[in-house]
Amino acid sequence: MGKPTTKAWFATTAFALAGLVSLLFFAMVSRYLLPHSIFYYVLVLNTFFSIRFFSDILEPSPRQTAVDTILVVLYIVLAYSLGNAFAFSLAATCLFLVATAKYVIELDSNPHVSVLKRKISLDLLGAALCASALGGTLMGYPLESAWTLAAVFALANVYLLFIRPMYRL
């Protein structure tokens, strides 16, 4: 699976199917299910562009394979936590923190440092957004936190994918 577009389609199809299977058979039916689903599928869309772009500029390595494996596990955990306010926010926060680490470990060996730093900054913002949703959930505002997470993330992705594209050199 050497072509970036092929990798991107494979991964996003697998993640989309994991979300669909979760929605149909495992997801906790709750008032958080819709905002979680919106967030999850916007994340899957973003992942397509991310994999397609970074597959071209990141060299395969055992470190990257290890981090990618953790990210796949976290994606599955996120899919299967749809509808659970605490677990979903926690899994999303962890996913963004591990994604940040994926690009940090490339800083010393990749010539595209400015692109990596931008991706790191955006992933840290994603982690902060998810952590704030987790905090809001713990403070007793799980529905408000879930909808804020979905809305802010969706709007940010419209901006970062279509208005000021983040996946370009």
Q: Could you give the CA distance from residue 74 to residue 102 in angstroms, rounded to a whole number?
A: 13
User: For the chain, how many structural domains are there in total?
Assistant: 1
Does residue 43 sit within a domain?
yes
Does residue 1 sit within a domain?
no
Q: Could you give the CA distance from residue 123 to residue 113 in angstroms, rounded to a whole number?
A: 15
With b for 16 or more beta-carbon neighbours within 10 A and e for fewer, the 137-156 pattern comes to: beeeebeebbbbbbebbbeb
Does residue 147 sit within a domain?
yes
Does residue 9 sit within a domain?
no
pLDDT of residue 2: 64
Does residue 2 sit within a domain?
no
Domain hosting residue 59, numbered range: 31-163
pLDDT of residue 122: 97
Whether the CB-CB separation of 116 and 1 falls below 8 Å is answered with no
Question: Tokens standing for 20?
Answer: 């669909």
Whether the CB-CB separation of 85 and 145 falls below 8 Å is answered with yes
Whether the CB-CB separation of 16 and 44 falls below 8 Å is answered with yes
Does residue 24 sit within a domain?
no
Q: What are phi and psi of 55, to 5 degrees?
A: -60, -25
The separation between CA 158 and the C-alpha centre of its own chain, rounded to angstroms, equals 15
Q: Could you give the CA distance from residue 23 to residue 53 in angstroms, rounded to a whole number?
A: 29
pLDDT of residue 73: 98
Does residue 123 sit within a domain?
yes
pLDDT of residue 1: 54
pLDDT of residue 27: 86
Q: Could you give the CA distance from residue 151 to residue 34 in angstroms, rounded to a whole number?
A: 11
Does residue 14 sit within a domain?
no
pTM beyond 0.85, yes or no: yes
Flag residues of the chain having pLDDT under 70.
1-2
